[in-house]
Amino acid sequence: MILMRGKKKTLIAIVFVIVLVIGIQRLGWFDFLGNGFRSIGMMVARPFYHMRISMHEFFQKRKLKDTWYVEWEHAQKQLQLNMVDRGALALLQDENKQMKEQLNFFSFHLSFSHVGAEVVSRTVDPLGTTVIINKGTEYGIKVGNPVIVNDGILVGLVLHTYNHSSVVRLLSDSESKIGATAMNEEKSIGLVEGGYGLGIRMNYIPQNEIITPGTIIMTSGLTEDVPRGLVMGIVEVVEKQPHEPFQQAVLKSAADLSHITLVSVITSTEL
């Protein structure tokens, strides 16, 4: 009896719930509640959605930034390599030009035996101006041999020799003295001397002979082992005193003596 009453109450409760649900549905309360839950869900989900978008954009920007940095770093390295290549090319072009000029000079002076060499160091002594070249006695170089650059421009004479190197005294050295001829009307004879690395001068030019700025000065052939006709420099200033037997000329060297890299040593002037 009691069991039947319990089943009856349960059935009534079920019917009540069904009727209640049908009523709520007809009144549209489910839509209202659904919309409310959806709104709450969207409110809760929106920050996470924006956070996900922000994180995605962050990592995308980070990836792009890393890509740009890698590309920038590669570009920097490529730029450095290009600079090295351009520097090496410019150096090779300059050396090639110098060698061509020296070979051109010797093609017109077939009686000159010569040895090409590189300058490997330079003195820093203020009282002297010398350079060291990478060729010595093994190539037949001797003390007194003239050293030229370009189209036969004399830059100095060999001062000391060793098996694999030589010391060259430049024209600007205070101990440098070489017989010279001015290419003026009188073909004036004099002596070109250095001035403690500061320049070169032609001394002992006869007072009565006319020499002017722009006159080319060449070797006279009066210095042992130095052939005639090597260019030394050009007259910049003439110094002349009325009661002196000689006049002097300040010269500008035909070559930049502070930037010598490739030279030729004339080892012999005979066939």
Most confident among 117-126, 174-183, 255-264 (mean pLDDT): 174-183
Residue-wise pLDDT for 151-176, tens only, equals: 888 999 999 999 999 999 999 888 99
pLDDT band at 84 (very low <50, low <70, confident <90, very high): low
User: What's the rounded Cα separation, in Å, for the pair 170 and 255?
Assistant: 11
Q: What are the two backbone dihedrals, phi and then psi, of residue 136, each rounded to the nearest 5 degrees? A: -140, -145
Angle of helix 29-107 versus helix 2-27 axis, rounded to 10: 60
pLDDT at 181: 92
Which residue spans within 123-269 are E strands per DSSP?
Answer: 130-133, 146-149, 153-161, 166-170, 177-182, 189-194, 200-206, 216-219, 231-239, 246-253, 262-268
- No. of H helices and E strands in the chain? 2, 12
pLDDT at 113: 84
pLDDT at 3: 47
Asked if residue 129 has pLDDT above 90, the reply is no
- Range with the poorest average pLDDT among 27-36, 122-131, 195-204: 27-36
Contact, 171 vs 192, CB < 8 A? yes
The pLDDT > 70 percentage for the chain reads 57
pLDDT at 260: 86
